[in-house]
Structure formats: C-alpha cells, structure tokens
Amino acid sequence: MEPIALAVIGGTGVYKLAALDDVQTHDVETIYGAPSGPVRVGLLNGQRVAFLARHGEGHSIPPHKINYRANLAALKQLGATRVLALNTVGGITDNFGPRVLACPDQLIDYTWGRISTLSEEAGSEVLHVDFGHPYTPSFRAKVLAAAKAKGVVMQDGGCYGATQGPRLETNAEIARMRRDGCDLVGMTGMPEAGLARELGLEYACLAIVANWAAGCGEAEEITMAEVLANVEAASAGLPTLVGELAKG
C-alpha cells in the first residue's frame, strides 16, 4: 500500500476536502469496530492525503459517541503516520475570537465516560505514554511553518479544554475553564489526542474558532448558523495549508 503523506480529521462544518483529486473511498473495519464513516484518499499537490469526517459526513454522531479508537486505527491501517485534527471550538480568551485559526500546544480533559485508551480490553497491554506535550512538538512546528509559507494567519499555542457535550457549556463552566488556563473549548479534543499518542501517530490540532464561548464576547446566544458561517470563513485557507503540509 502506498504511504499516506497526511491524514486529516474534519470536525463540525468540515465534512470533506474538496481539493482532493482522484479520490478513492475506503470502508475500513478495525479491531475497535467501524470508524465514523468512509476514509477518502486522494491527491493534493501530488501527495496522497486521507480525510475522515469525525462526526460522519452527515454530522450524525455526537461527540461522546464517536469511536475515536476506530477512527485513528483506520487511518493508521491505511498507512497514515501523521494526523492533522480539525476541531471546531469556542474562544475563551482575547486572542481566540471567532474566525481565528489556532494551533494549541496544551489541553485539559474535562470529558467523562469515553473509552480513552487502547488498554480498555482485558489482556491488552497497559500503556503509560508520556503526554506532557499532548500535541507532537515537531509536527506542530511543521503546521506553523506551512501556515507561514502560505500566508495563512494562525495563532501559535493556547490551551484546549475538552468538554463532554453535546450541549454547550454554562457561563460558570467557561469561567472555571478560564481560571484553569483554557483559551479554547471543544468537545472532541479528547480522547483523540491521547489515543493518537498510544498508537504512535504524530498528531496536531488545528482549532477553528466558530464563536465566543458562553459569557465571552457580546453575543447572548450561540446559533448553528453563526457557527457554520464562521467555520466556512476561517477554513478558506485550509486546502492550501494542507497541501503545503503534505509535502513533508
């Protein structure tokens, strides 16, 4: 099987990579079950790039029901070694307002009840991976370099707080997250990042800020129309960025 230069996992509002040519569809089964949907593999700037919609291509899977293990295992089975995770998030602190692209360097996990390790089944190896830097530093550097090379404005760093969902957070919960040091809030950052580390995949997050989190900014109510419009605007440079990153 030909190697895959880059695998991309799309979040809310990003259900395909339209820039891919010669797309082949792979329905993959893993030891953890089926992923969220088919993996689309195509060419971008002459490089093989894989794409998987985290919530399914029709956004039918809520955050707590995603089979994160199967998603990552499917990409690895197809030959991926590097995963760029696109996460639609809310902004908490001043530098992370709507339509900002950010490449966070830290995270805090507030989720519960999700299968969060490859060590879940009886008899499986007990894995104690180093997770001090939850996103692969060398891969993060390449994401930032690709953005700079293509003129895509990106916020370097920040802390992603992963919440349970699918409901949005209360004002008090966001205030607590701000005190904890979170800059961004999303629902799918974990256990995905931890599982990627256990699988030995290089992994980085590209956070797409769709709205201010509860109690931040001026909007009193967050609407899906607003979220999707902001995601579309912030994602305009993604094909160019992914194509540059796939080069190596």
**Confidence (pLDDT) at 107:** 98
**Confidence (pLDDT) at 235:** 86
145-164 pLDDT tens trace: 999 999 999 999 999 999 99
Which among 48, 40, 45, 47 is positioned nearest to 17, based on CA atoms?
40
**Confidence (pLDDT) at 219:** 62
**Confidence (pLDDT) at 19:** 79
What is the rounded distance in angstroms from the CA atom of residue 44 to the CA atom of residue 240?
Answer: 9
What is the rounded distance in angstroms from the CA atom of residue 118 to the CA atom of residue 68?
Answer: 10
23-64 pLDDT tens trace: 999 999 999 999 999 999 999 988 999 999 999 998 999 999
Tokens, residue 167 = 């409901």
Name residue 50's beta-bridge partners: 7, 41
Domain ranges of the chain: 6-121+133-245
pLDDT over 90, % of the chain: 77
Instruction: Please indicate if the annotation marks 187 as binding a ligand.
Output: yes
What is the rounded distance in angstroms from the CA atom of residue 97 to the CA atom of residue 101?
Answer: 9
Helix (H), strand (E) at residue 42: strand 39-44
Which among 63, 60, 68 is positioned nearest to 118, based on CA atoms?
68
Instruction: Please indicate if the annotation marks 170 as binding a ligand.
Output: no
CATH number of 6-121+133-245, picked from 3.40.50.1580, 3.40.50.410, 3.40.50.970, 1.10.10.10:
3.40.50.1580
**Confidence (pLDDT) at 220:** 65
Instruction: Please indicate if the annotation marks 112 as binding a ligand.
Output: no
Which among 121, 119, 77, 85 is positioned nearest to 101, based on CA atoms?
85
What is the rounded distance in angstroms from the CA atom of residue 68 to the CA atom of residue 35?
Answer: 8
> What residues in the chain have per-residue pLDDT under 70?
1, 219-220
Which among 29, 234, 64 is positioned nearest to 147, based on CA atoms?
234
Cis, bond preceding 35 (omega within 30 deg of 0):
no
Q: Kindly report the average pLDDT of the chain as a whole number.
A: 93
Instruction: Please indicate if the annotation marks 171 as binding a ligand.
Output: no
143-146 contact pairs (CB < 8 A, 24+): 143/84, 143/103, 143/204, 143/206, 143/241, 143/245, 144/103, 146/241, 146/244, 146/245
Instruction: Please indicate if the annotation marks 12 as binding a ligand.
Output: yes
Instruction: Please indicate if the annotation marks 54 as binding a ligand.
Output: yes
